[in-house]
Structure 1
Amino acid sequence: MRQIGLPLFPTSSSEVKVFLVSTHFIQYGLELAGGLAAEGAQVCIAFCPRHADRLIGPQWRELLPTGVEVCELPFPPRRRVFSWPTLRNVLMLRRKMRRFHPDVVHLQSSIDPAVALVGLLAKRPVVVTVHDVTPHLGEENKLNPFLNFLEYRVVLPVVRRKGIRFIVHGESLRGALAERTRVPIQMITKVPHGVLRGFVALDAGVEASHIEPTVLFFGRMEPYKGVDVLAKAVPLVRDRIPESRFVFAGKGTSLGKVQDVFGKDLAVEIHDEYVQAEDVGRLFRQATVVAAPYLEASQSGVIAVAFAFGVPVVATRVGALPEVVRDKENGLLVEPGDPAAFADSLCRVLEDPELTALLRAGARKSAEGELSWRAVARKTLACYRGAPAGDP
């Protein structure tokens, strides 16, 4: 096993060749690839273009950084280990790795068994970004028992022997991952989730038709997101600010309850659909504040989009969210599961233009500073070289 703390390779950024496998988190992968390339690394990113078309739209090609190679996989990610698509993807990844000859293989954690197989078979140093350390609330029963067996009985023992490094998006998540996997905490590095500026680049630029104080809830409408908490907060906010508007945009199992309660309320706008990338900008540009009333979370891509548009966030103190949303700097923080407290924080932003301006400036500062992709890339390159795993 590689000794903990020693660098994966002693090279400078301009010499690093990174094979980035991002079969599911494609936009994240494209933006990270851009940051790494801007820092001088040579990058090849692997994903299925058809899957990118579905997740982002054909505009994903506009996000492809100059000079970054693409390994085009024939199939989207699958959950089945023993399937022809998984085998084809593994063979393609192995062939491209041999030709590219990377210094490091960087995998984005995924339900895709092809990603795990490539990591286990790689003869180069491997780094894995774990976006969600534990299953989300209400999703535990969706786990594949066979894949769960493979993870704990096959994959993790090999990972510990090979000395694979891990990246998580918060300091609080390092201990959680170490406890779950029994991987030494020194092998787990905190690298923040960069802002998703791709949505700004793809923004169709359609002007918002509303100027009322607006709260946006965006993304997956699932129990762990605290949809019920926000639904209970809506009338409390409306009592104080009658002209306020709420926008729910996304798909998921919890949206039906929102539609049942607010389906005929003209002040509550519901988009029960997967929002196309070019339409995301309109929703965030019309928002005064983004709501993140999560009951549990590791990190939040929605916050990464909000800050890219300079929109402040009211979030809960769960997971690594307090490491990104800093109270009274770029947003406000609330304890989870408290509709009254959440409503009060939303009202503070909606009622106070000076506070809103302060938080907007803080969101832009975060997006241009520690959450920029060049800053994220520098921390990622330091992880590749085996720098100390914790906060600097």
Structure 2
Amino acid sequence: MRVAIVGPTYPYKGGGAQHTTELAHRLTALGHEVVIESWRAQYPSFLYPGQQTISAPEGEPFPGVRRELDWRRPDGWLRCGRRLRGADLAVLTLLSPVQVPPYLGILAGLRRATEVVALCHNVLPHERKPYDAPLVRALLRRVDRVLAHSEEQAGLARGLAPAPVRVAGLPPHLPSKGESLAAPGGEMLAASKGESLAASGGESLAAASGGVRRRLLFFGMVRPYKGLDLLLRALARVPGVSLTVAGEFWGGLEETRALVAELGLDDRVELRPGYVAADDVPGLFAGADALVLPYRSATASQNAWLGHEHGLPVIATRVGALADHVTDGVDGLLAEPGSVDALTEVIGRFYQDGEPQRLRLGVKAVDPEPHWAAYTAALLSAGA
């Protein structure tokens, strides 16, 4: 089958770019002829405040890439659509409603000559604007199939358009030893090749280098839905525990600094704003007892798997796929979302005598192969 994937890849960074790249590798390994139609300029800079591109690839680049799409050039959208008429399947990777106008241009050039699947990382954004739903509705009404990453997201898609919707969980992009990458705002993903970073027997790198540090890690792009403010307020109630916050801030950095000062946490909270280079990621995880995901809401996420792949227990809220990836009391702890009290209680429970070590021993690395097999099968048979 000839498959064209429209989406970001290197030199763009992040989970979306890595997913597109890994998907292309996986489909090629299955014997399909694959090309990535990627971006020369994906978003206006004012819509994406973080660092968009990187100078060195994070993982193995895909060789069959055209980088001609530009958000400023509708003529290029039409040309891309005309090229896709030669494919058996076109996959439009939806990361943001901002991509919809170029995708509509591509579909106009395509003129329904090829089957089209909208691969929705998020059907609608976590923090929505009035134009988001109309834009996504316009796209989903014009495609043949939709692939969503959760039943909740599939429900959103079905409410917007009549196209058939299939569900496949987002497969893991997990770090191989010495080969990691950062997702939007520093959320690390990696190629699913090579050895796990989890030490043998489930012992974490932190354990291997000595004991309980009484330090937690919040890792990734900081946005309101991720609940950092809730975590800071909970931390203020748990004496003797520190926190590292590493990743790009999607606004709100000064407000976060002010909250840290207001709560008297200046000596316990380390803020490391900005893109986290791949070489710095293992050290961040090695210096923590647990990865904390205090999200108010979530869809599909790699982050629980990410913590486990580094050998760390995960403290997470019961939202989206996070609760599916953490076994409460075995390899992490779960709390109800949106509650400072719940986070306070679960952090206190985590630091009971012997609990960090016990949970660390329960951490196991995930095998990505069955997840990817199910995912590619769902993509290729999305209308069945």
TM value normalised by structure 1: 0.73
Q: How does 1:102-251 map to 2 (within 5 A)?
A: 102-109=87-94, 110=96, 111-112=98-99, 113-119=101-107, 121=110, 122-136=112-126, 139-141=127-129, 145=131, 149-152=134-137, 154-159=138-143, 164-179=144-159, 181-183=160-162, 187-197=165-175, 201-202=179-180, 212-237=213-238, 239=239, 242=240, 244-250=241-247, 251=249
8 Å contact kept, 1:193–1:299: no
**Other-structure match for 1:5:** none
State the Cα distance separating 1:203 from its structure 2 match: 6.6
**Other-structure match for 1:11:** none
SS at match of 1:287: coil
Q: Distance in 1 between matches of 2:172 and 2:23?
A: 8
**Other-structure match for 1:324:** 325
**Other-structure match for 1:360:** 363
Q: Distance in 2 between matches of 1:256 and 1:210?
A: 34
Q: Given the superposition, is the C-alpha separation of residues 298 and 183 from structure 1 closer, same or farther in structure 2, using an over 3 Å criterion?
A: farther
8 Å contact kept, 1:105–1:126: yes
State the Cα distance separating 1:277 from its structure 2 match: 3.5
Q: Given the superposition, is the C-alpha separation of residues 149 and 309 from structure 1 closer, same or farther in structure 2, using an over 3 Å criterion?
A: same
State the Cα distance separating 1:247 from its structure 2 match: 0.7
Question: More relative contact order in 1 or in 2 (CA 8 Å, sep 6+)?
Answer: 1
8 Å contact kept, 1:290–1:313: yes
Q: Distance in 1 between matches of 2:146 and 2:210?
A: 44
8 Å contact kept, 2:167–2:378: no
State the Cα distance separating 1:198 from its structure 2 match: 7.5
Q: Distance in 2 between matches of 1:197 and 1:55?
A: 21
SS at match of 2:363: helix
Gaps of 5+ in 2: 44-49, 183-196, 198-204
State the Cα distance separating 1:21 from its structure 2 match: 1.3
8 Å contact kept, 1:216–1:289: yes
**Other-structure match for 1:271:** 272
Which one-letter code corresponds to 1:255 in the other structure? Answer: L
SS at match of 1:194: coil
Q: Distance in 2 between matches of 1:314 and 1:215?
A: 9
Q: How does 1:297-376 map to 2 (within 5 A)?
A: 297-351=298-352, 352-361=355-364, 364=365, 367-368=366-367, 372=368, 375-376=371-372
Q: Distance in 2 between matches of 1:214 and 1:298?
A: 27
Q: For each residue in 1:116-138, what CA deviation from the matched residue of structure 2 results, as whole angstroms up to 9, or x when unmatched?
A: 432463522222221123331xx
Q: Distance in 1 between matches of 2:284 and 2:260?
A: 19
Indicate the structure with greater strand content.
2
Q: Given the superposition, is the C-alpha separation of residues 18 and 74 from structure 1 closer, same or farther in structure 2, using an over 3 Å criterion?
A: closer
Q: Distance in 2 between matches of 1:332 and 1:183?
A: 39
Q: Distance in 2 between matches of 1:326 and 1:51?
A: 38
Q: Distance in 2 between matches of 1:43 and 1:177?
A: 26
State the Cα distance separating 1:171 from its structure 2 match: 2.9
**Other-structure match for 1:21:** 6
Which one-letter code corresponds to 2:267 in the other structure? Answer: L
8 Å contact kept, 1:288–1:312: yes
For the aligned residue pairs, the C-alpha RMSD in angstroms reads: 3.4
**Other-structure match for 1:30:** 21
**Other-structure match for 1:283:** 284
Q: Distance in 2 between matches of 1:63 and 1:297?
A: 28
Q: Distance in 1 between matches of 2:231 and 2:58?
A: 36
Q: For each residue in 1:218-251, what CA deviation from the matched residue of structure 2 results, as whole angstroms up to 9, or x when unmatched?
A: 22222211122101111223x2xx2x32011221
Q: Given the superposition, is the C-alpha separation of residues 281 and 34 from structure 1 closer, same or farther in structure 2, using an over 3 Å criterion?
A: farther
State the Cα distance separating 1:173 from its structure 2 match: 2.7
**Other-structure match for 2:194:** none
Q: Given the superposition, is the C-alpha separation of residues 299 and 88 from structure 1 closer, same or farther in structure 2, using an over 3 Å criterion?
A: same
**Other-structure match for 1:73:** 68
SS at match of 1:303: helix
Q: How does 1:25-104 map to 2 (within 5 A)?
A: 25-48=16-39, 55=52, 57-60=54-57, 62-65=59-62, 68-73=63-68, 75=70, 78=71, 83-84=72-73, 86-91=74-79, 93-94=80-81, 96-98=83-85, 101-104=86-89
Aligned length: 337
1:380 maps onto 2:376 in alignment:
yes
Q: Distance in 1 between matches of 2:223 and 2:148?
A: 22
Which one-letter code corresponds to 1:35 in the other structure? Answer: R
Q: For each residue in 1:47-102, what CA deviation from the matched residue of structure 2 results, as whole angstroms up to 9, or x when unmatched?
A: 2367799545222274215xx41122253xx3xxxx42x432542x336535xx43
Gaps of 5+ in 1: 1-15
TM value normalised by structure 2: 0.75
State the Cα distance separating 1:375 from its structure 2 match: 2.7
